[in-house]
Amino acid sequence: MTTAEESRLDVSAASGQRRTPPEQRLDRIIRMAREIFGVPIAEVNLVGKTVRYTKAPEAPGSGPQVERSDAFDVAAMASPVALVVTDAALDPRFAGRTRVDGETEIRFYAGRRLTVGQGERVGTICLVDTDPREFSAEQIVLLDELAQLVERELKEDINRQRAGQVQQSLLPTSPDLRPDVEVAGVSIPYHHVGGDFHSWSHDGRIVNVALADVMGKGVGAALVAATVRATVNALGSGAPADTLRRTNELLISDFAATGTFATAFLARLDLATGQLEFADAGHGLSILVRSDGSHERLDSTGLPLGIAAGVEFFPGTVELGHGDTLVTFTDGLLDLLDGTLESILPIVDIALDSSGAVEIVDRIAALCRTLRPTDDVTVVAVTRPSIL
Domains by residue range for the chain, with CATH: 3-164 (3.30.450.40), 170-383 (3.60.40.10)
> Using CA atoms, how far apart are residues 111 and 128, in angstroms rounded to an integer?
9
Whether 100 and 106 have beta carbons less than 8 Å apart is answered as: yes
SS3 310: coil
* CA pair distance 139, 33, nearest whole angstrom: 11
| Amino acid identity for residue 197 in this structure | F
- Residues pairing with 230 in the sheet: none
Task: Tell me how far apart the alpha carbons of residues 163 and 4 are, in angstroms, rounded to a whole number.
Answer: 23
Where would I find the H helices in the chain?
Answer: 3-14, 24-37, 73-78, 98-101, 137-169, 218-234, 240-258, 331-336, 344-352, 357-371
Length of the chain equals: 388
What count of other Cβ atoms lies within 10 Å of the Cβ of residue 256?
13
Amino acid letter, residue 184: A
Give the DSSP letter of residue 194.
Answer: -
Name the DSSP letter for residue 292: T
Full-prediction pTM beyond 0.85? no
pLDDT value for 13: 54
Q: Given this model, what pLDDT does residue 23 score? A: 60
Residue whose C-alpha is closest to residue 264's, from 316, 205, 315, 329: 329
Integer Cα distance of 118 and 6 in angstroms: 13
Alpha helices in 235-343 (DSSP H): 240-258, 331-336
Among candidate residues 379, 373, 320, 382, the one with its CA nearest the CA of residue 198: 379
Q: Helix, strand or coil for residue 282?
A: strand
> Which pLDDT does position 2 carry in this prediction?
53
What angle do the packed helices 344-352 and 357-371 form, to 10 degrees?
A: 130
Tell me, what's the pLDDT at 300? 81
CA atoms of 127 and 115, how far apart (whole Å): 18
Residue 287: what pLDDT? 97
pLDDT, position 147: 94
d(CA 110, CA 99): 15
Give the Cα separation of 123 and 115 in Å (integer). 8
Tens of pLDDT along the chain (388 residues) come to: 555 555 445 545 544 444 444 467 788 899 999 999 999 999 999 988 888 888 887 544 445 577 888 889 999 999 999 999 999 999 999 988 888 877 678 999 999 999 987 788 999 999 999 999 999 999 999 999 999 999 988 887 777 777 777 777 777 878 888 899 999 999 988 877 788 999 999 888 999 999 999 988 777 888 899 899 999 989 987 899 999 999 999 999 999 999 999 999 999 999 999 999 999 999 999 999 999 999 999 988 789 999 999 999 999 999 999 999 999 999 999 888 887 888 899 999 999 999 999 999 999 999 988 887 888 899 999 999 987 6
